[in-house]
Structure 1
């Protein structure tokens, strides 16, 4: 089957819709390809909102920090986080457009609300998180708008090859789920199919930890198709492939559907954590910043253990603990409920831990030496770690990592002892395809691939090697880069190839 259009968009998530709506608003003919049977991608199914700076909602906020938080503040925060190992022009382009995108989303059917930041350690930061309101209905409205403007959405259709002739993009070859191939003639393509987290081979190549220690929450259908298509044209996509590390989680080695609320909740608390050597590796309060927690876990080898003794387990079975579990604010913000800053009790914790052990996610031993043998670390290292930690609790001072006195509560004293193993968690991949601030795809010599644009998790430029701490930034990057890529394609169509790339 053959089609003819002006622009093909590969991927119908936030980045794809950002590009698609920008193009149809300019009166252009667009075909959007979606590999799955449902549109929306991680921007709908995973995200709950997006970052912005300077939006009308922020300008009207009663919070002084929020009203006074300016574009340059956000730019400097991002560039400082990446140690300037990122593209400052891309960073400015994304953040500068972010306020307008909130209004633009509203115009296209997506309402948002400015909410408190959803992570505990960000409460003193200006409010930047614009939470979706009724996101599924909003994406339906955007899809209807796209089609009403003449756009064509083809689901269960994956981009397969780029047609490149006369030194420019001339079309896209695609394949449907039933194996039927289609060919679409076009003048430009926007590659927005979400990265490569669903491609096990690409993931293993990019990881610096063993693949078994990465739990992916990303789009399984994001299999790096755009990377493969562009590599055939000589684009280098392997230099900047990174992971959107986000917290850590406990998973079963045998049952991917296994969940245990008590074990998961305890993972979100700053107990005693040790790495594969049986040593502490971080102030466990890092649990309250998901990006940094994710980075620390990844750096530790992709996994660690939180350690408890029976006295701690018994306490948690019968008492309310006046600590905040790190995901509470995320959940209650979404549900518009008040914070409790409490967890527990967990009356079935003994059996919960047994269940975790049966699933290969926890260990129990009568002695620290036996526990060390089970988790594969030096018994001497674990013994010394516990002794040092217990001393910190007695002295109410953690001279090793600086944990707050509030969290120096549970000594590790008498068995049985427990070790629960969280592993690295990723929301997806970030980067790989080189781009400039117009989101033109670039060859290794920095010259553009004529007619090719990139957006969302595919695009390199704003990140270094880790996910930043600004809440909602990857979703904002998707929407804003998609809009910019779409607008760039409009300029190409209006000016013609020769004038646009002169």
Structure 2
């Protein structure tokens, strides 16, 4: 009896289920089926098999890829069709990201340290291809890449650990090793050399090459002027050490195979760095011949996370993390911070210096080295915040390169370097003698003090003159002082008398792209550019009067540069300032020991390169070649001091 009741209940339940399904089906469109329960929904993406192309903007241009899909929900292959990212950093990031996408079949891949923009570009380019294939991008972003080293720990013991493998870090590691110390060098990216791989020249005072070349600097006069020009807010002993000992660095580098070439740069002793494509390998060879040969290690793609301290407050090592998630604990007797500053940290730069321009340095330099040192007891300098503002950029350049030749796309950029054009700030007020554009540091700092950008005003009459005669049409005696890398791709055309073909089209494209402004009248230009109309009208009237009388009563600009504005329409080029790096953040003595709030050394902690460069400058960098010259010199000397401290020599 119980058995029959149980069967009846089961039958009734089945009938109910059938009726329920029938009712639901009757409410659906013909041909539709019930959706599977959410718990059984497939998370993977479904592609339409084939080959697709995708692209996205990288740091230095467009990254274009060809992606091959298979029906089995698989990204089979990724081929890079084109990219112009930084050699040795961006290109390696592209390789690493594509490998992880293919290996894990996911678009949820962490950016490569130091190449965030490039990493995001390659991911976006592949994503665009996936969309064309009908793939589910959201599904491909649900699966994370599992780091195989997560939970693992590697432990090392050494005499000296150097954090950061730029010019200063490599130099410190090599000299410490040559002094007899066992050294471990930790670098967060895959690249050795840091900003030195992008730099132009360094200053090594009275090097043997400079003296042989007939140029000798009066060291005492140089030091005295330097101190006065920085309002005495420098460490005179550190400054004297750099000026008097940097010349030795030239010979030291030469003996190590890193050969620089002396040039008399208008009376300055500059030394051109080796060919760009040879630098990293030369630095790697230096490390192999010293650090690695003497039993040390070079750990790349390993990011320092914190400093280890003992009970007495002495720094005794570093905790780091490898790219695969492995924790690395390194105990050492001396730790050298060579982490390159914080210019890549936009928020930190704005808070410390009020600067909102472009980071032209390395994206990986975000200040974690400074924060680790501060947490270990290092003093935050009273002059903290200085930046290495050194070049003017035109916002229009990147977009114009997609439409025009390198020479044509650089038209707006070249005009930002000419002293014969009117410059105004965001409000429309003129703010300087435009001859400041002839000196990189003056050009950069006068603009940055005025606001996040400035505007270069050019008229239709002036554009017509450029079209006919090139820069000579604007009374330009010599080509603008742009960095060589800015015009390397069109150096044969980079002459004052080269006509600017299609100049009108280029400037109209600039406006269309939103990187500049146009107005048929000065009032309309002011309105379109977001300037205060009355402020700009007054500035324009005064400037126009100065061009007619030859007397600039506001800024004293030479009449040689007072070029008549001419007829409209009028254009405004948006110009920004390039920040090559932060300056300082730690105070050091002449042994490169980091000082605490009482200006007493934090035992075991040293700093070289940009992290310690604040002892040379007041509130901002005003040198030429000093950044690289000091990085190599401070590294060379600081590495020796760290080894001496570790070995008790």
Contact 1:193–1:458 (CA under 8 A) maintained in structure 2 = yes
Q: 1:257 to 1:217 in 2, by over 3 A?
A: farther
Quote how far apart the aligned CAs of 1:292 are. Answer: 1.2
Question: Please, what is the CA RMSD of the aligned residues?
Answer: 2.5
Mapping for residues 35-54 of structure 1, pairs under 5 Å = 35-44=188-197, 46-54=198-206
Quote how far apart the aligned CAs of 1:27 are. Answer: 1.7
1:215 to 358, 374, 378: 358
Q: 1:328 to 1:224 in 2, by over 3 A?
A: closer
1:268 to 413, 417, 428: 417
Quote how far apart the aligned CAs of 1:36 are. Answer: 0.7
Contact 1:277–1:377 (CA under 8 A) maintained in structure 2 = yes
What is the TM-score of this pair, normalised by structure 2?
Answer: 0.70
Contact 2:156–2:331 (CA under 8 A) maintained in structure 1 = yes
Deviations, residues 417-461 of structure 1 (Å, cap 9, x unaligned): 111110121001111112222211111111111010001111131
1:226 to 363, 369, 377: 369
- 2:317 maps to 171
- 2:230 maps to 82
Deviations, residues 337-380 of structure 1 (Å, cap 9, x unaligned): 99986254212111211222233220001111111112222322
- 1:120 maps to none
1:106 is the counterpart of 2:254: yes
- 1:499 maps to none
Alignment partners' CA distance in 1, 2:465 and 2:492: 25
Quote how far apart the aligned CAs of 1:331 are. Answer: 5.7
Alignment partners' CA distance in 1, 2:178 and 2:276: 21
2:579 to 394, 409, 426: 426
Q: Which moved more, 1:248-257 or 1:316-325?
A: 248-257
- 1:292 maps to 442
- 2:348 maps to 202
- 1:184 maps to 330
How many residues are matched? Answer: 478
2:378 to 220, 235, 256: 235
Greater relative contact order (Cα 8 A, min sep 6): structure 1 or 2?
Answer: 1
Quote how far apart the aligned CAs of 1:465 are. Answer: 1.1
Quote how far apart the aligned CAs of 1:484 are. Answer: 1.9
**SS of structure 1 residue aligned to 2:392:** strand
Deviations, residues 51-87 of structure 1 (Å, cap 9, x unaligned): 021111121124xxx23x1222321232122111111
Mark the runs of 5 or more structure 1 residues left unpaired by the alignment: 118-122, 497-502
Q: 1:486 to 1:255 in 2, by over 3 A?
A: same
Alignment partners' CA distance in 1, 2:488 and 2:243: 24
Contact 1:291–1:468 (CA under 8 A) maintained in structure 2 = yes
Alignment partners' CA distance in 1, 2:470 and 2:396: 27
Q: 1:219 to 1:138 in 2, by over 3 A?
A: closer
Q: Which moved more, 1:227-236 or 1:241-250?
A: 227-236
- 1:365 maps to 519
- 2:428 maps to 278
- 2:647 maps to 494
**SS of structure 1 residue aligned to 2:580:** strand
What is the TM-score of this pair, normalised by structure 1?
Answer: 0.89
Q: Which moved more, 1:263-272 or 1:155-164?
A: 263-272
Mark the runs of 5 or more structure 2 residues left unpaired by the alignment: 1-153
Contact 2:609–2:634 (CA under 8 A) maintained in structure 1 = yes
